[in-house]
A = this chain, B = another copy of it.
Amino acid sequence: MFETAEIGRSIDKATFEAEEPALREALLEAQYELKQQARFPVIVLINGIEGAGKGETVKLLNEWMDPRLIQVSTFDIQTDEELARPPAWRYWRQLPPKGRMGVFFGNWYSQMLQGRVHGKFKDAVLDQAIDGAERLERMLCDEGALIFKFWFHLSKKHMKARLEALKDDPLHSWRISPLDWQQSKTYDKFVRYGERVLRRTSRDYAPWYVVEGVDHYYRSLTVGRILLEGLQAALANPQRTRLQPHAAPLVSSLDNRGLLASLDMTQALSKDEYKEQLTTEQARLSGLMRDKRMRKHALIAAFEGNDAAGKGGAIRRVTGALDPRQYRIVPVAAPTEEERAQPYLWRFWRHIPARGKFTIFDRSWYGRVLVERVEGFCSQADWLRAYGEINDFEEELTNAGVILVKFWLAIDQQTQLKRFKEREQIPFKRFKITEEDWRNREKWDDYVDAVGDMVDRTSTEIAPWTLIEANDKRFARVKVLRTINEAIEAAFAKD
């Protein structure tokens, strides 16, 4: 894989200087066009051998292009806010918005390669990391991102010569590499694992470009041309290629009997049962949240349900058990302008709690396969793709110790009608009922289908859905609390 990048490729200064002005001008043009179109972001990953010109090339790109439209991020050191969250959080918070370019040093590939070279884990774990990178990039590309992955390469001999030459270069030496490149073994391992990583992550939608780094002119011109061609092609393509969803899209179940129809909606609690059980479950939650073992976990509860199913009331019974400093509630409405300039899941990633904390999503990332699907706010390809993306997202959370509970609060049509009418009567509840609620009601059957598909495709062992029979509010609230408590206890038991 690296053979052709170890042959000492070079071009002469005259050729470089002849080509540079036109290349520069074209790159600038493409960059402004990117900004004007603001249809997609560009992500440039910088990896490879120490001394192969990574930093120098990015510096040159910033000189060639307009640096005001480029964000360079480096991920060598994690802050404590980052350490308290799933590993991907730090990449999400640095994603460039549509129309901009983000350059990522020390990215996910650097992290996995360093870990493997240092012997912190074996190939199986490396492969998991590779798999995670692939999913992330695939998702970003599906969302429209244009990804360039550059591997700057050097033969061992050339690397040694470069490191010697760079020793006294202040621009180089102020940075301390996390790997000891003076050791011959480091190079060998890095190249071996690098080969594995590149082989498995070079995909049509985000290929690797291996660039021999020994000659400044060759390296710079190569990178510049690749960027330019990729940018121009993407800018010229009005609808960036989107992979076709599976030929047979989801259909409602053939017997027209849904999961929701199988719920026993008559379940209820008497006032006394409710009082007693609520107190018990609230005390239990309060204790669990203060448990020392909670410091290794974060808690996320996602609430979905029919309009007027009692999400708000259930959430209040959950928070009623807690100190307000422990939790935050995120009401999910239409995305803001900054959120629309990012991949779909960005607006949820930004609210992921730190360890020890609890975030409640009042409506959630399932909006895409519920309201957006039913109302046609996104394309079929988008929501069909979302099931897989959401499963990946939830796996990232749970892998990092997040305890995730997901509720669908279900009521029947009759109960909903009764509650809508009540809301119109009671002054301080009239804010809770809008024209939209009445319109949604007409799409009841569409929602039944959407919920059925959602549960089929995203109720997983790591993040199961809990359907809450919510005709009786008391029953629903206690079941919600109990489910959360059981999830926390199950997580503690596995620690």
Q: Are B431 and A72 in touch, CB under 8 angstroms?
A: no
The 7 closest A-B pairs by CB, nearest first: A32-B431, A72-B324, A337-B337, A68-B331, A25-B428, A74-B325, A68-B329
A324 to B171, CA, bound (A): 11
Does A29 sit at the interface, judged by CB under 8 A? yes
Q: Are A323 and B171 in touch, CB under 8 angstroms?
A: yes
A376: B residues at CB distance < 8 A: none
Number of copies: 2
Q: Tell me if A's interface is mostly helix, strand, loop or mixed.
A: helix
A328 to B70, CA, bound (A): 8
Q: Are B324 and A103 in touch, CB under 8 angstroms?
A: yes
Q: Are B171 and A66 in touch, CB under 8 angstroms?
A: no
Q: Are A315 and B28 in touch, CB under 8 angstroms?
A: no
Which size bracket describes the interface of A in this complex? 35 or more
Does A105 sit at the interface, judged by CB under 8 A? yes
Partner of A63, one of B316, B323, B337: B316
A59: B residues at CB distance < 8 A: 323-324
A28-B428, A105-B325, A290-B174 known; A316 and B72 CB under 8 Å? no
**From residue A454, how far is it (CB to closest CB) to chain B in Å?**
22
A362 to B70, CA, bound (A): 13
Does A69 sit at the interface, judged by CB under 8 A? yes
A26: B residues at CB distance < 8 A: 428
A32: B residues at CB distance < 8 A: 428, 431
**From residue A44, how far is it (CB to closest CB) to chain B in Å?**
11
**From residue A319, how far is it (CB to closest CB) to chain B in Å?**
5
A55-B323, A338-B336 known; A328 and B72 CB under 8 Å? yes
Residue of B nearest to A30 (CB): B428
A286: B residues at CB distance < 8 A: 170-171
Chain A window 68-108, contacts with chain B (Cβ cutoff 8 Å), 1 for yes, 0 for no: 11111010000111000000000000000000000101000
Residue of B nearest to A170 (CB): B290
A325 to B55, CA, bound (A): 9
Residue of B nearest to A289 (CB): B174
Does A287 sit at the interface, judged by CB under 8 A? yes
A342 to B490, CA, bound (A): 41
A470 to B174, CA, bound (A): 34
Chain A window 47-72, contacts with chain B (Cβ cutoff 8 Å), 1 for yes, 0 for no: 00000000100110011001111111
Does A36 sit at the interface, judged by CB under 8 A? yes
Residue of B nearest to A328 (CB): B71
A170 to B291, CA, bound (A): 11
A320: B residues at CB distance < 8 A: 63
Does A8 sit at the interface, judged by CB under 8 A? no
Does A312 sit at the interface, judged by CB under 8 A? yes
Does A238 sit at the interface, judged by CB under 8 A? no
- Among A26, A29, A74, A428: residue with most chain B CB under 10 A: A428
A329: B residues at CB distance < 8 A: 67-68, 70
Q: Are A72 and B325 in touch, CB under 8 angstroms?
A: yes
Does A249 sit at the interface, judged by CB under 8 A? no
Does A119 sit at the interface, judged by CB under 8 A? no
Contacts A/B (CB < 8 Å), 9 sampled: A28-B428, A29-B428, A63-B320, A67-B324, A80-B80, A170-B286, A171-B286, A175-B323, A336-B336
Q: Are A68 and B315 in touch, CB under 8 angstroms?
A: yes
Chain A window 412-428, contacts with chain B (Cβ cutoff 8 Å), 1 for yes, 0 for no: 00000000000000011
A323: B residues at CB distance < 8 A: 55, 59, 171, 175
Residue of B nearest to A64 (CB): B316
A378 to B170, CA, bound (A): 48
**From residue A167, how far is it (CB to closest CB) to chain B in Å?**
15
Q: Are A362 and B68 in touch, CB under 8 angstroms?
A: yes
Interface residues of A in 317-333 (CB under 8 A from B): 319-320, 323-325, 328-329, 331
Residue of B nearest to A319 (CB): B67
Residue of B nearest to A28 (CB): B428
Q: Are B324 and A62 in touch, CB under 8 angstroms?
A: yes
Partner of A29, one of B58, B171, B337, B427: B427
**From residue A452, how far is it (CB to closest CB) to chain B in Å?**
28
**From residue A56, how far is it (CB to closest CB) to chain B in Å?**
9
A469 to B67, CA, bound (A): 23
**From residue A90, how far is it (CB to closest CB) to chain B in Å?**
11
Residue of B nearest to A69 (CB): B331
A28 to B316, CA, bound (A): 13
